[in-house]
Amino acid sequence: MHIDDVIYAPASGSGGAIGIVRISGQGCLELADRIVKLRRGTIASATGFSLRFGLITDLDEVLVSIFKAPRSYTGEDMVELSCHASTYVLAELMQRLSDAGARLAEPGEFTRRAFLNGKMDLAQAEAVADIISSSSSAQHKVALNQLRGGFSAELEGIRAQLLELTSLLELELDFSEEDLEFADRNHLKELTESAIDRCSSLADSFKVGNAVRNGVPVAIIGPPNSGKSTLLNALLKDDRAIVSDIPGTTRDTVEETCVIDGILFRFIDTAGIRSASDEIERLGIERTYRKAAEAEMILGLLDLSEYRSEAEFSEAVKELARVPDFSSQKLIIIANKADIAPCNKNVISYNFSVSRAEFKDYSIDYLMLSAKNGQGLDELRNLLVSKSGLAAATGTLVTNARHAQALRSTADSLARVREGMELGLPSDLLAEDLRAALDSLGSITGHISNEETLGLIFSRFCIGK
């Protein structure tokens, strides 16, 4: 990648009426003048942050947006050409740009240049891709906070603490022969503890942040014909899964996403849990247990019409309660098909009193509904949002696994500093661990970075970003 090249790329998606081609780099204004003719003056002589009408000979009329360094997205001179979104027009325009000496941008190269030119740090640059890919208001909110520097401000506060500590310890090293101690050890311990707590808290937020970014995984399990596929279709408001009265219809998992109150959920319909009748069904049931182990919430469906006593129902609940790991997972027991089992509503009370008493120490919620006619679905949606914990999530959330790992590495290095102070280790050893902490923290924002890391990050961007 040559950052002094003039680059171009389409910056708009397909299917619209207007297509936008973005051009950036030193000399891009003059290059654009060779392709686009303004009615008066030139693109290179125009003021920045201006719009001009232009003509591309024998091709199209265009609106020219002009940005001059450093006041542009990339920090370089930039031009955006808005033309009609004809496949032919866009292809011909880009060919003319190539013939004029520009090259097609690599994935994420515009944003990479913005980072290299100091327009944003690395965490903000990564947030650009997250905003583009966001499909829920929760995802968008977290990504926008990161793009606007909320996460970076948190990191800068920690970095300022570490730089203060490092500078004091480095000063001691300069006067090591005089055996002077510039850093008060009690104050140093307090700042170290504070930094560890802040790093650990941010790293721990990754569990919630990852759920926001990738969706809360919810596994739907239960015996055959309990209505799992019907419930999935009802939640999605689409016939995604095959529904049949024949037991064992679902042999494999079916996964779909759905946004509820701004939160993305990943629902996983699974094979019915029972003694398998053949090898294929056995493999499907094994996959059911694997997917259930990966979920944060489990919907355990039971066919209300199948049970004639609370004892029978309680035994069925026991079977489902063996599936979750209650230290990290939540279980919602759903008595389905309430529309066709009116007599059983009296047998199995709405409060599920027997089961509630027996499983009071577990994180289990109970709900009666009819997936077929929609009774109780709104209550289930509200319960899912409430149990996810995302609606009440506040503050900065870490959504990137790389960031979470760097924060943990920072905390580990600081823990070694704390241990070293307790053991009375010399300043040079403490300073070494502090520098390691700064390097780990700096890898998030780009204060410390390498070409391999940058290549991996920006490779997942679209061409025009």
Domain boundaries, the chain: 7-120, 125-205+399-446, 211-388
For position 362, what pLDDT does the model report? 67
pLDDT over 60 (residue 60): yes
For position 253, what pLDDT does the model report? 72
For position 8, what pLDDT does the model report? 96
Question: What is the DSSP annotation of 146-198?
Answer: HHTTHHHHHHHHHHHHHHHHHHHHHHHHHTGGGT---S-HHHHHHHHHHHHHH
For position 375, what pLDDT does the model report? 87
Cα–Cα dist 308/345, whole Å:
10
For position 412, what pLDDT does the model report? 95
What one-character DSSP code corresponds to residue 370?
B
Cα–Cα dist 295/220, whole Å:
10
Quickly tell me which residue has 């004892």 as its tokens: 311
Classify burial at 18, counting beta carbons within 10 Å of its beta carbon; exposed 0-12, middle 13-18, buried 19 or more. Answer: exposed
What does CATH list as the number for 211-388?
Answer: 3.40.50.300
For position 247, what pLDDT does the model report? 47
- pLDDT, one tens digit per residue, over 349-381 is 544 544 555 666 666 888 888 888 888 899 999
Three-state DSSP at 221 gives strand
Distances (CA, A) of 34 to 56, 63, 213, 224: 9, 15, 44, 69
pLDDT over 50 (residue 271): yes
pLDDT over 90 (residue 63): yes
Q: Are 303 and 336 in contact (CB under 8 A)?
A: yes
| Angle of CA points 144, 24, 126, to nearest 5° | 25
Q: Give the global pTM.
A: 0.76
**Residue (of 443, 362, 431, 438) closest to 402 by Cα position:** 443
Cα–Cα dist 465/109, whole Å:
7
Backbone angles phi, psi at 457, to 5 degrees: -65, -50
- pLDDT, one tens digit per residue, over 70-104 is 999 999 999 999 999 999 999 999 999 999 999 99
For position 244, what pLDDT does the model report? 44
Q: Are 230 and 243 in contact (CB under 8 A)?
A: yes
Cα–Cα dist 398/274, whole Å:
40
Q: Are 273 and 285 in contact (CB under 8 A)?
A: yes
Q: What percent of the chain has pLDDT over 90?
A: 38
Q: How many whole angstroms from its chain centre is CA 283?
A: 31
Q: Are 274 and 250 in contact (CB under 8 A)?
A: no
Cα–Cα dist 42/45, whole Å:
5
Average pLDDT, the chain: 83
Q: Which residue has the higher pLDDT, 265 or 224?
A: 265
- pLDDT, one tens digit per residue, over 172-196 is 665 555 555 555 678 788 888 999 9
For position 350, what pLDDT does the model report? 42
Cα–Cα dist 181/169, whole Å:
8
Cα–Cα dist 197/295, whole Å:
28
Any idea which architecture 7-120 has in CATH?
2-Layer Sandwich (3.30)
Backbone angles phi, psi at 416, to 5 degrees: -70, -35
Cα–Cα dist 228/271, whole Å:
9
- pLDDT, one tens digit per residue, over 419-456 is 988 888 877 788 889 889 999 999 998 887 666 667 76
Three-state DSSP at 247 gives coil
Q: Are 307 and 355 in contact (CB under 8 A)?
A: no
Distances (CA, A) of 224 to 220, 231, 269: 12, 13, 12
Provide the 10 A C-beta neighbour count for residue 400: 20
Burial 109-143 (b: 16+ CB within 10 A, else e): bbbbbbbbbebbbbbbbbbbbbeeebebebbbebb
Identify any residues that bridge with 65 across adjacent strands, giving them in sequence order: 51, 80
Any idea which architecture 125-205+399-446 has in CATH?
Up-down Bundle (1.20)
Strands 78-84 and 60-67: antiparallel
**Residue (of 394, 427, 432) closest to 413 by Cα position:** 432
pLDDT over 90 (residue 313): no
| Angle of CA points 94, 96, 97, to nearest 5° | 65
